[in-house]
A and B are shown apart, each in its own frame.
Chain A
């Protein structure tokens, strides 16, 4: 009956209670939606990093990342790939050549990393190929039938993932393509130091332009066929500088890393968090800072609730005196007041969470398009300009717990004041 009485007491002053509930609703909704935006952004960044940039794990020679010399090759890359693919949770592994080079077009030049890959194997560890649109697929996807429109799309098409029959195809990022004024079929020259220590260069044709959410990555990384690069670099075709591993179960990543380190103690085995510490830090920092933001929101709301509950106690001094007179002990009086506060908070938070969940789900599907305002800036940092909000149920649970704590904390002082009442004096109150 005490919970029922507490609930009914909330509605004695409907306007006041609705104001408090409204404040809690908007506060929680605001907090959750902010959370969902940042979590969505972070998840999107991490996903992009894993699926299109670095994969989950990379293996190199110990000195390679500090000084990427062409001679710092991996011993038995095929064996490493086989071992890695046998580990639990691993989806696939692929070996790559990685050479620091200059890329030159008729307009400009730029420093890049050249990745020599097996295009088909690479598809198993990276989704970068999905960011290179095949022109025919694109027109089919869009169901275009007008030849003029199709021609316009083909003119602006981004080519294909090594579908060209040309000699020495290269795939470049859109940012680099704009910098070097490249289009499909444009000619570039890649210049680097080969295995024999001489400067060498080769002519390549752009067969595809990829576009991801990271303009810096687009500017720095180009992809060629491994045999083509190996020939130019005077390296045996089976050699590699890097093995990239993609996990189908991210939770087993650390276990896989331990196994690889044990098997290859002389090689550097790094997780994506070590390869991209800024992204890893972002992921951790966002979580902590958003919890702090939510606590601040609830603390601010809590002060309002303290005020409300103090008014509730002061208005009902006589009634509280009566309740104590007829035999309601202090524990029950305390519980009744605490419950009023907690139920008030949970009602507002519940509505805020439902509202928040609906809005978050809507924007999870259609996204918040900030491209008109901040596309360049966001992509410079590796973020998609369209944010897809995301929030798992554990966050809602955390918010519910914080709300209960707020309700308890906010009503503790008013409830204590109620306990201090002398029933005889309280009954005399006008």
Chain B
């Protein structure tokens, strides 16, 4: 079942001060539940723009994005924010944890935004941090965690809202190889055991190696879309 349907998506950046830039030039794609997909391509290929639009962070110039049959372009900005909160998880390249909150509080934060009661938030946050191997670092602030640990907290946070899919933009870019491997193993396990859908934007060959589907984007177009069921 498709959880995401992209139909002839176009994104042109035109600030009227310089030459308009076509970041996405007509992409049509579908994503199914439980995928572990990477989007690869050189810098400027449009993969981050594509990810931003999948996450509702940017609006298409034309075309449609349906997430669970909901057309994002028909939603008001407040509704898009609300939709993101309940349906989409994010893992950013630069961890982007809230530095003044502990690991537990960072994971709780999204559930607080959703209005979940405190006991439920804390229970789930503990479970998620346990799942990512940080059950003993609940009360550590990001400043006291390594890069890999911070990124694992970010994964736990992304999972906290029970999203339909998680978008990960270069999640291993700032990690050493060991941390990157650990993180990818966790994500792979979550995908395999809990059928959580991951969509990566990456240059990292290790991520590509684990992906079940690799979409190559270049000059704003999909150049190839290959399944690797044996990964």
Contact = CB atoms under 8 A, between A and B. Distances in A.
Interface of A: 1, 5, 8-9, 11-12, 318-319, 322-330, 332, 422-424, 427
B96 A322 contact: yes
Given A11-B100, A329-B78, 7 more contacts: A1-B108, A326-B109, A327-B84, A327-B110, A328-B85, A423-B57, A424-B58
Given A12-B100, A322-B92, A427 B57 contact: yes
30 contacts: A1-B105, A1-B108, A1-B109, A1-B112, A5-B101, A8-B100, A8-B101, A12-B99, A318-B96, A319-B96, A325-B84, A325-B92, A326-B110, A326-B113, A326-B157, A327-B81, A327-B82, A327-B84, A327-B85, A327-B113, A328-B85, A328-B113, A329-B78, A329-B113, A422-B57, A422-B58, A424-B52, A424-B57, A424-B58, A427-B96
A326 B100 contact: no
Contacts of B81: 324, 327-330
B215 to A, nearest CB: 20
For the complex of A and B, 9 pairs with smallest distance between CB atoms = A327-B85, A8-B100, A322-B96, A424-B57, A424-B52, A1-B112, A424-B58, A329-B81, A423-B57
A328 B86 CA distance: 11
Contact of B113 (A8, A330, A332, A422): A332
Contact of A327 (B94, B98, B161): B161
Residue among A325, A328, A423 having the largest count of chain B Cβ atoms under 10 Å = A325
A9 B100 contact: yes
B73 to A, nearest CB: 15
B110 A427 contact: no
B198 interface: no
B28 to A, nearest CB: 22
B14 to A, nearest CB: 15
B171 interface: no
B91 to A, nearest CB: 10
A8 to B, nearest CB: 4
Nearest to B157: A326
B200 interface: no
Q: Please classify how large the interface on chain B is, using the bins under 10, 10 to 19, 20 to 34, 35 or more.
A: 20 to 34
A419 to B, nearest CB: 11
Contacts of A427: 57, 92, 96
A319 B96 CA distance: 6
Nearest to A428: B48
B98 A5 contact: yes
B90 interface: yes
Contacts of B114: 327
B104 to A, nearest CB: 12
Contacts of A318: 94, 96
B21 to A, nearest CB: 14
* A interface SS class: helix
Contacts of B101: 5, 8
B78 A325 contact: no
Contacts of B90: 322, 325-326
A325 B113 contact: no
A328 B80 CA distance: 11
B34 interface: no
A328 B90 CA distance: 13
Interface in B23-56: 52, 55
Interface of B: 52, 55, 57-58, 78, 81-82, 84-86, 89-90, 92, 94, 96, 98-101, 105, 108-110, 112-114, 157, 161
Nearest to B114: A327
B118 to A, nearest CB: 9
A325 B57 contact: yes
Contact of B85 (A319, A322, A326): A326
B96 A5 contact: no
B101 to A, nearest CB: 7
Given A327-B82, A424-B58, A319 B110 contact: no
Contacts of B92: 322, 325, 427
Contacts of A325: 55, 57, 84, 90, 92
Given A322-B92, A427-B57, A329 B99 contact: no
B102 to A, nearest CB: 10
Contacts of A330: 78, 81
A3 to B, nearest CB: 12
B178 to A, nearest CB: 26
A424 B23 CA distance: 14
A322 B110 CA distance: 12
A331 to B, nearest CB: 9
A374 to B, nearest CB: 52
A329 B82 contact: yes
Residue in A5, A318, A427 whose Cβ sees the most chain B Cβ within 10 Å: A427
Contacts of B96: 318-319, 322, 427
Nearest to A12: B100
